[in-house]
Amino acid sequence: GQATDFTAGNRVIDAANLAWDPAVTASDSGASAGARGRALDAPATLAQADQATRRGTTIAGANLTLTVPDGSASGRYGSEITLTLFAND
């Protein structure tokens, strides 16, 4: 996944301040979670499986942590997280 910057009008909180701790809560195919603590300003893996383990059902999620820099103005900020599925072989 990857996130866009958080914006509120002309105010911005960089997407590097958003990190996730992925988890696979169920997988009948043996999928594994991606690396913990990765910032989402660049592509990061939520879950992965190889050619032998990618079939079946997997439930994946992540706890998100947003660090708001000191001095950030209050407001209603918005961001978008994009998830992409693709074969990894």
| Structure tokens, 6 | 């958080």
pLDDT tens-place string over residues 45-65: 999 988 877 788 899 999 999
| Structure tokens, 18 | 């958003």
Number of Cβ within 10 Å of residue 53's Cβ equals 15
Task: Find all residues with CB under 8 Å of 43, minimum gap 6, and list them.
Answer: 1, 2
**Tell me, what's the pLDDT at 50?**
82
Whether residue 88 has pLDDT greater than 90 = no
pLDDT tens-place string over residues 3-34: 999 999 999 999 999 999 999 999 988 889 99
**Tell me, what's the pLDDT at 54?**
78
Among the listed residues 66, 88, 89, the one whose alpha carbon sits nearest the alpha carbon of residue 78: 66
5 in Cβ contact with 79 (< 8 Å)? yes
**Tell me, what's the pLDDT at 89?**
67
What's the pTM value of the predicted model, to 2 decimals? 0.88
